[in-house]
Amino acid sequence: MNITAFDKNMSAIAFAEAGEHDTARQILGENAKKQHAKSPVPAAKSKPYLKTIIFGSMSLSAYYLLFTNEKLVTQVFTMGGWHWVFPVGAAFFFSFIHGAFASNLLSSIGIEAKK
């Protein structure tokens, strides 16, 4: 037989009225724990503010470095031949740090995928 939350609450009340406070608490505590695990609303996760700031500043400084050295960068990156590693490598590098920043940013403002 399934014992519903209502049954449990009632039995806890019965014990409490009978002066068995500890037993009552035990029953309710167990109840609360179970409900917590089953809850459709997960406990609020701490938002990744720190990660957002770290990746954000990494990405921002990388962008800053690249654009302040614009002339040198465009010159070297477009030499052709094996120099293809520069643009392709840069694209990979930025996608990792800036992608991580974007992911954490979305989580920080509370936009997450449906579970």
Partner 1 sequence: MKKLLIILMFALLPLSLVAQSALAAGGPPKDILKGKITEMNVAERTVVFQKDGTEEMTTLVLGENMKPEDIRLNKKVLISLDKHAAAGNVMKEVSVMFMNLTGSKLLALLVIGLIGGLLSGFIGSGGAFVMTPAMMSLGVPGAVAVASNMCHKFPKAMIGAYKRWKYGQADIKLGMVMAGTAIIGVQIGIEIQKYIMDHFGSAGSNLYISTVFMIVLVFVGGYVFYDAMKLAKGDGKETVSKLALRMQKIQLAPMMHFKTAKVTISAWITVPVGVLTGMLAATIAVGGFIGVPGMIYVVGASAIVASATELIIAFVMGAWGSVQWGLSGLIDIRLSLLLLATSLIGVQLGALGTTYVKDYIIKVVMATTMLIVAVSRGVKIPGYLVDLELTSPIDPGTIALFESISFWSLILALGSAGLIIVVAMVKGMSADRQSKKALAGA
For partner 1 (CB under 8 A), the number of binding residues is 36
63 binds partner 1 (CB under 8 A): yes
> Among candidates 65, 43, 62, which has minimal Cα distance to 54?
62
Q: Which is nearer to partner 1, 15 or 55 (CB)?
A: 55
90: CB partners within 8 A, 6+ apart = 66, 77
Q: What are the structure tokens assigned to 87, written together?
A: 């643009």
> Among candidates 57, 69, 97, which has minimal Cα distance to 89?
97
Write the DSSP assignment of 24-53 as a string of letters: HHHHHHHHHHHHHHH-SSPPPPPP-HHHHH
- Smallest separation (angstroms) from partner 1 to the CB of 14: 25
83 binds partner 1 (CB under 8 A): yes
**Rounded to an integer, what distance in angstroms lies between the CA atom of residue 76 and that of residue 67?**
14
19 binds partner 1 (CB under 8 A): no
105 binds partner 1 (CB under 8 A): yes
- Interface pick for partner 1 out of 16, 53, 58, 73 (rule CB under 8 A): 73
User: What residues line the site for partner 1 (CB under 8 A)?
Assistant: 39-41, 63, 66-67, 70, 73-75, 77-81, 83-88, 90-92, 94-95, 98-99, 102-103, 105-106, 111-114
